[in-house]
C-alpha cells in the first residue's frame, strides 16, 4: 500500500515541479518581453535625444567656427597692418642708417681736420712756449712757480679780507652788547670818582717847626724814623716835611703821629714813642672798621677777621691815584650787576670783586704777584675755591675756571679804566709811553711806532716788503700779547698796525 502511494506522491511532485518550471519560464519570458520593450523605448528616446544633442552641437560648432573665422580675419587684418608698419619702420631705419653712415663719413672727415689742426696747434703752442721762455727769460717751471705765488698772494688777500670782515662784524656786535652791559652796570653802581691819593706830606705852622722836628744833633728825627719805621725828608719845601715809606699803613701811622706832635708842640723821643704807639693802635682800629665797612657795603658777609684786617689796609693803598679799597668795593658792585645780568653766581662774583686785589696789602712783605699772594692768603683762611681762582686769575696769571672769574676780571678793568678813576705821575706816564714804543719796535719788519691818546693806543708802521697783510694781523695780536705780559697799565691799549705800499715813478 505504501508503494502506490509513494509513486503517486512522486508523480505529483514531478508534475508540480514541471508545472512550476513552466510557470517560471512563462514569467521570465513575460519579464524579458517587458524589459525588451522598455529597452527599445529607452533606445528610441536616447536616439531622439542624441539627434537633438547632435543638432545643438552642430549649431554650437557652426557658431564657434564662425566666431573663429571672424577672429582669424581680424588677426589677419592686424597682422597685415603690423607688417605694413614694420615695413615702414624698416624703410625708415634703412634711411636713417644711410644718413648715419653719411654723417659718420662727415664726422670722420671733420675729426681728421681737427686732429690735423690740433697737431698744428700743439706745434704752434710748443713754438709759443719756447718763444715765451726766450722772451721772459724764465722756464716753464719758473713761470708756474711765479703764477702760484701770485695766486697765493691773491688768496691770502681774500682770506685776510674775509677774516677782517668777520672780526669787524663780531667786534661790532660784541662792542655793542658790551657797551650796553657796562653802561648799565656803571649806571647802577654810580660811584664817585675815587681819585684820592694817600698824602705823604705833613704841613707845618712855620719853618721853625722843622728845627724842633730835627732836634738837637738830629735826635728827634732819628727817634721818629726809628720808632715809626719811615724816612722823614726835611728839604726846602716851605712849611712842610715829607714822609717816605714803602708800607702804606706805616706811612699813615707816621703821618698821623707827625701831625699830632706838631699840634701838641712837645717833640722829644719819649713823646714821640707815646704818640706813635697811640696812632698805631688808632690806625689798627681804623683798618678793622674800614674792612668791616667795605665787606658790609659790598654785601660779602662771613669773612675771616684776618681777611677783614688785610682788606682794611687797602684804605691806605693807591694805584695810579685810585684808592684800592674804594676800587675793591666798586669792582664788587660792578661784578654783582654783571653776574645778575648774565645769570652767574652773584655772591661769588661779589666776593671775587671785593678780594681780587687783597694781595696788594701784602705785596711789599711777600715775594710774588699780588694776585698769587692774595689767592694764597684767602685759600689759607677757607675762602671758596672758585673765589680763590677768580682772585688768582684776574690778571690771566692762570686759567680762569668759571664765568665768575671772567666777570671779576671785567669788573676790575671797568673800575680802573672808567674816566677819572686813575691818574699817574708824569714820570710814570713817560716811562709807559716809552715802554710801549720799545715793545713795538722790537719786532722785525717794524719801521716806526707811535704811542697816542695818552698811551691808550700804539700805532705800528711796518715795511710792506717785509710784512704782508696777513702777517700784519698776526703782528697786531703778538704786540698786544707782549704788552699784556710785560706791562702794567690802567684800562686797555689799542694796537694798530699800518701797512702802506707806495708806487713812485718819475717822468723824464
Q: Which pLDDT belongs to residue 207?
A: 77
Q: Are 408 and 356 in contact (CB under 8 A)?
A: yes
In the chain, the domains with their CATH numbers are 201-417 (1.10.3210), 426-499 (3.30.300.20)
Percent of the chain with pLDDT over 70: 90
Q: Which pLDDT belongs to residue 126?
A: 83
Cα separation, 92 vs 90, in Å, equals: 5
Backbone φ and ψ for 448, nearest 5 degrees, come out as -150, 160
For the cut 70, the answer to whether the pLDDT of residue 321 exceeds it is: no
The stretch 196-212 carries a mean pLDDT of 71
Q: 37-54 burial by CB neighbour count: b if 16+ within 10 A, else e?
A: eeeeeeeeeeeeeeeeee
Q: Are 458 and 437 in contact (CB under 8 A)?
A: yes
The model's pTM is 0.49
Q: 56-86 burial by CB neighbour count: b if 16+ within 10 A, else e?
A: eeeeeeeeeeeeeeeeeeeeeeeeeeeeeee
Arithmetic mean of pLDDT over the chain: 82
For the cut 50, the answer to whether the pLDDT of residue 199 exceeds it is: no
pLDDT digits (tens, 9 = 90+) for 68-107: 888 888 888 888 888 888 899 888 888 888 898 888 888 8
Residue 387: pLDDT band (50, 70, 90) is: very high
Q: Are 323 and 193 in contact (CB under 8 A)?
A: no
For the cut 70, the answer to whether the pLDDT of residue 418 exceeds it is: no
Cβ neighbours of residue 495 under 8 Å, at least 6 residues apart? 440, 457, 458, 460, 476, 479, 480, 483
Amino acid at each position: 500500500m505504501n508503494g502506490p502511494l509513494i509513486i503517486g506522491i512522486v508523480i505529483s511532485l514531478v508534475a508540480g515541479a514541471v508545472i512550476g518550471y513552466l510557470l517560471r519560464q512563462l514569467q521570465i519570458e513575460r519579464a524579458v518581453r517587458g524589459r525588451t520593450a522598455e529597452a527599445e523605448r529607452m533606445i528610441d528616446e536616447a536616439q531622439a535625444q542624441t539627434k537633438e544633442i547632435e543638432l545643438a552641437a552642430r549649431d554650437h560648432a557652426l557658431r564657434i567656427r564662425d566666431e573663429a573665422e571672424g577672429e582669424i580675419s581680424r588677426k589677419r587684418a592686424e597682422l597685415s597692418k603690423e607688417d605694413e608698419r614694420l615695413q615702414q619702420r624698416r624703410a625708415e631705419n634703412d634711411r636713417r642708417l644711410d644718413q648715419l653712415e653719411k654723417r659718420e663719413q662727415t664726422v670722420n672727415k671733420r675729426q681728421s681736420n681737427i686732429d690735423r689742426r690740433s697737431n698744428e696747434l700743439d706745434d704752434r703752442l710748443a713754438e709759443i712756449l719756447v718763444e715765451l721762455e726766450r722772451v721772459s727769460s724764465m722756464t716753464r717751471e719758473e713761470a708756474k712757480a711765479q703764477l702760484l705765488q701770485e695766486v697765493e698772494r691773491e688768496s691770502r688777500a681774500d682770506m685776510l679780507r674775509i677774516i677782517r670782515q668777520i672780526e669787524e662784524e663780531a667786534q661790532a656786535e660784541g662792542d655793542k652788547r658790551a657797551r650796553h652791559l657796562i653802561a648799565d652796570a656803571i649806571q647802577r653802581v654810580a660811584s664817585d670818582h675815587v681819585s684820592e691819593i694817600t698824602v705823604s706830606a705833613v704841613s707845618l705852622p712855620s719853618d721853625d717847626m722843622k728845627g724842633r722836628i730835627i732836634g738837637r744833633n738830629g735826635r728827634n728825627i732819628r727817634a721818629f724814623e726809628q720808632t715809626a719805621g719811615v724816612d722823614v725828608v726835611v728839604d726846602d719845601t716851605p712849611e712842610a716835611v715829607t714822609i717816605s715809606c714803602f708800607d702804606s699803613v706805616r706811612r699813615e701811622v707816621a703821618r698821623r703821629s707827625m701831625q699830632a706832635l706838631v699840634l701838641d708842640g712837645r717833640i722829644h723821643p719819649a713823646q714821640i714813642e707815646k704818640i706813635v704807639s697811640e696812632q698805631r693802635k688808632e690806625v689798627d682800629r681804623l683798618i678793622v672798621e674800614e674792612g668791616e665797612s667795605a665787606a658790609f657795603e659790598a654785601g660779602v658777609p662771613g669773612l675771616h677777621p684776618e681777611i677783614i684786617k688785610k682788606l682794611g689796609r687797602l684804605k691806605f693803598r693807591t694805584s695810579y691815584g685810585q684808592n684800592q679799597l674804594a676800587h675793591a668795593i666798586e669792582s664788587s658792585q660792578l661784578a654783582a650787576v654783571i653776574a645778575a645780568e648774565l645769570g652767574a653766581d652773584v655772591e661769588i662774583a661779589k666776593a671775587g670783586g671785593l678780594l681780587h686785589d687783597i694781595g696788594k696789602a701784602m705785596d711789599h712783605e711777600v715775594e710774588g704777584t699780588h694776585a698769587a699772594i692774595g689767592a694764597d692768603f684767602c685759600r689759607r683762611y677757607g675762602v671758596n675755591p672758585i673765589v680763590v681762582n677768580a682772585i688768582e686769575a684776574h690778571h690771566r696769571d692762570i686759567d680762569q675756571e668759571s664765568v665768575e672769574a671772567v666777570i671779576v676780571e671785567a669788573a676790575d678793568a671797568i673800575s680802573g679804566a672808567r674816566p677819572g678813576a686813575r691818574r699817574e705821575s708824569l714820570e710814570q706816564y713817560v716811562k709807559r709811553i716809552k715802554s710801549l714804543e720799545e715793545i713795538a719796535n722790537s719786532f722785525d719788519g717794524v719801521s716806526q711806532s707811535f704811542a697816542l691818546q695818552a698811551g691808550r693806543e700804539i700805532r705800528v708802521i711796518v715795511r710792506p716788503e717785509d710784512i704782508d697783510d696777513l702777517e700784519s694781523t698776526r703782528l697786531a695780536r703778538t704786540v698786544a700779547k707782549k704788552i699784556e705780559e710785560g706791562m702794567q697799565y690802567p684800562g686797555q691799549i689799542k694796537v694798530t698796525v699800518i701797512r702802506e705800499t707806495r708806487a713812485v715813478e718819475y717822468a723824464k
